[in-house]
Amino acid sequence: MVNDLETKSFKQLLHESFKSEDTEEWLDIYFTRPIGLFFARIWYRLGVKPNTVTILSIILGVAAGVMFAYPDLLHNIAGIVLLMFANFCDSTDGQLARLTNQKSMKGRCLDGFAGDVWFFAIYLAIVVRLFNVNMPGTEVHWGIWIFILCAISGFLCHSPQSSLADYYRQIHLLALKGTSGSELDTYKSEHAKALEAKGKKGAFWDYAFHANYQNYCKSQEKRTPEFQMLLKTIRENFGSVEEVPEEIRQDFLKGSRPLMPYTNILTFNSRAITIYITCLLGIPWLYPIVEITVGECLYIYMHRQHEKLCKSIREEIEKFKTQTN
């Protein structure tokens, strides 16, 4: 069967790989996505499957973590190169799957798992690298404290920050393009899919994905009460997002658009650059501190502003319905 990789130009494919101008980072637009697409075309010609590319990204990401465990410049440069190629593979597998119609639940499981493994390896590398090293300005080893610092950074900061940043991106795309242009999933729908897959023979990967993903969605929904109320108000008054009056939709996008740079900062690129700089300078302990301080401040601001926006749009809808009745 003929697919997009065989019929469309590189420029066309690259343009179609962008979700929207509002949500794309310049580094992805001009660097990561073009390189990812370049490799996607090579993998396609070699007959390599998307899941194979994802597994390769996991291997490269873990290898990068191992390199960051060493304090010398050569190992750290190797770590940077490996993590960059892991990210290229992450971009490649999605493009390859979409453009060749090879999307699968197993692929979604692997893709979601990959990034978590990369950063787990990196946090572990920082712990190993600093465990027997003195804290700055003291003669006391980091010891268990670097483990605690990385655990707080990874589990209490990194994970919630990136999940909510992704949620806000999908909400923006929902307002911009409707349900067809967004991957905004709900706990209710994922829970139903998990229950359905649980009773099916040979549906292990489907069940594994939905059972885990439902909790991810639940966490996002629990932290966004104003948006959940807004979504409920939209359904009660208009039936669907697509039926929301254009003026109200544009008001939401106007308020959401300035928050998109914050969602970008709290995802991969900014974190990776921070890792590169701190490891090269021999101060990897600064990376989890940046996550806990700067990252958390940006997260709190982004969250508060988005909830405030959702509340104002809900009030605008209620006022609109009063005027039209």
pLDDT exceeds cutoff 90 at 204: no
For 270-311, the DSSP string reads: HHHHHHHHHHHTT-TTHHHHHIIIIIHHHHHHHHHHHHHHHH
pLDDT for residue 21: 83
pLDDT for residue 104: 66
Please give the average per-residue pLDDT across 13-41, as a whole number: 88
Nearest Cα to Cα of residue 184 among 199, 174, 195: 174
Please give the average per-residue pLDDT across 153-178, as a whole number: 95
Per-residue tokens: 208: 């594994």
Burial 4-15 (b: 16+ CB within 10 A, else e): ebeeeeeeebbe
Query: In angstroms, rounded to a whole number, what is the distance separating the alpha carbons of residues 169 and 265?
Result: 12
How does DSSP classify residue 103?
-
pLDDT exceeds cutoff 50 at 212: yes
63 — pLDDT class (breaks 50, 70, 90):
very high
How does DSSP classify residue 316?
H
pTM value is: 0.92
Please give the average per-residue pLDDT across 45-61, as a whole number: 91
Task: Write down the mean pLDDT value for the chain.
Answer: 92
pLDDT exceeds cutoff 70 at 105: no
pLDDT for residue 271: 96
Burial 293-325 (b: 16+ CB within 10 A, else e): eebbebbeebbebbbebbeebbebbeebeeeee
pLDDT for residue 324: 82
pLDDT for residue 270: 95
pLDDT exceeds cutoff 80 at 1: no
pLDDT tens digits, 240-294 = 999 999 999 999 999 999 999 999 999 999 999 999 999 999 999 999 999 999 9
Please give the average per-residue pLDDT across 70-98, as a whole number: 92
- Contact between residue 223 and residue 303 where contact means Cβ atoms under 8 Å apart: yes
